[in-house]
A and B are shown apart, each in its own frame.
Chain A
Amino acid sequence: MIPDLIEQYVDTGKIRYVYREFPLTELHPAAQKASEAALCAGEQGKYWEMNELLFERQSEWSQAEEPASSLKDYAEELALDSSAFNDCLDSGETAVIIQGDGLAGQSLGVNATPYFFINDLPIRGGLSIDSLGQIIDYTAAGGEPPQIVPSADDVHVRGDAQTARAITVAFVDYGSPESAQHALEVLPSLVEQYIDTGQLVYVLHPWAATMDSPGAKAAIAAECAGEQGKYWEMHDQLFEQQAVWTVADDPTASFVDAASALNLDATRFKECLGTDWALLRVQAGNVLAALYGVPGAPVFLFNNGQGQQGSPTLEEFQTIIDSILNQ
């Protein structure tokens, strides 16, 4: 269990937290008995106390010659009914619950610990409390599990998925100079050489340090232009004018001007800027970054498993893309 998660999210009523036993018995031979001990304590109403104690004293019981006897000592320390606890532990009667957790986990693809589900969204491995919190907030707001490669009709996808053999997934911060450098100096060549020729699919996920930063607001503006069919036109405008709106008192005025220049319906555009729909589309990028261990933007992931942080040059892109195309 995670104390920060309990303090910030359970105690405030934002989440319900459930712990499932998933002892990796081949790696951790004593873990099975430890899980049984937690469940036996649970039968006496002290599951979480035992859970916490087991993590605190891990080095003690896991290396003990007789883990069960350490576990029984803990039961006494927690003032449990010793004889009921010892009977429970010795009989192995809780093993069926652990087996059920194991089967549930297997059917959901759990193959490592810790492994989280935030509602239905699976997360392999431990995350920082900040990353977990972002995903929780996104889910609470009604966000659907985001796709790292969305369907071809999503405006974030550029290129022909039917023909392309190379994919790059770009995490882009509308407020960062490096992202602007990429968008203005490298992306146009990628479009000409690879995307328009059907060889590359370019997927953009917005990333922002915080959801009230100018960069996040710009990403929302791009979504709202996308809602009227002009995502990439707005993308280009925003990066061209980045120096203006990042320092403006009211960046929204700049976005509205840009929308007008693109002949968008201004009323509809302004209404869209405040919607949950647009905000969730932008938050989804941060959620994906947290899920895939992407530390910020710009970051580019390729379908050969390579990743590039920062703003690679056109030549660097060409080297990677050509190697994928020639595979």
Chain B
Amino acid sequence: MNSIHPQAQKAAEAAECAGEQGKFWEMHDLLFEKQEEWSGQQAAPETFKTMAGDLALDQAQFDACLDGDTYFDKVGADLQEGQLEGVTGTPAFRINGIEVSGAQPFAAFQQQIEYLLAGGEPPSLEISADSYRSMGAADAPVVVTEFSDYQ
């Protein structure tokens, strides 16, 4: 099964492949700028290769990186577990441990990449017992996490 935005996974890989040659941000910006040219297109990988050429990257190295799925695991695509409601097979991307649902707008994908690039820790449900945001015994058998706002 593939995702609703199957090219987004490959796009993230393309940015990583450009990063190998020191042009992550240049590729990142180009991907967003030209999103319409590749989003939803079967031939998206070819478009990424053209972009690599535009950025004067070593074409052979970039192509090998992209075709060889070098960063597939880093970006990593997987399927989210079905929710309690019985929705199954909801596609999701995983970027450094963060899931981005495939049905989310591309802006969400961008937000998450930028958060990570700003040095944010991969978000997760786990918060260490050492954190000031955790109260109670470190070895308690159950962790209750509340997401809330004050207003």
Contact = CB atoms under 8 A, between A and B. Distances in A.
Q: Is the interface of B mostly helix, strand, loop or mixed?
A: loop
Interface residues on B, range: 35 or more
A122 B83 CA distance: 10
B137 interface: yes
A20 B142 contact: no
B142 A15 contact: yes
B142 A115 contact: no
Given A13-B140, A18-B133, A148-B84, A100 B121 contact: yes
Q: Is the interface of A mostly helix, strand, loop or mixed?
A: mixed
Contact of A17 (B120, B136, B138, B149): B136
Contacts of A132: 144
Contacts, number: 168
Given A103-B123, A149-B86, A31 B143 contact: no
Nearest to B81: A120
B57 to A, nearest CB: 30
A35 B84 contact: no
Contact of B151 (A23, A43, A100, A136): A23
A20 B140 contact: no
**Most chain A beta-carbon contacts within 10 A, residue among B129, B132, B138:** B132
A128 B124 CA distance: 26
A100 B147 contact: no
Interface of B: 83-86, 92, 98-101, 108, 111-112, 115, 118-121, 123-125, 127, 129, 131-138, 140-151
Interface of A: 1-2, 5-6, 9-11, 13-24, 27-28, 30-31, 34-35, 38, 42-43, 45, 47-48, 51, 54-55, 58, 62, 96, 99-101, 103-110, 113-120, 122, 132, 136, 139-140, 145, 147-149, 291
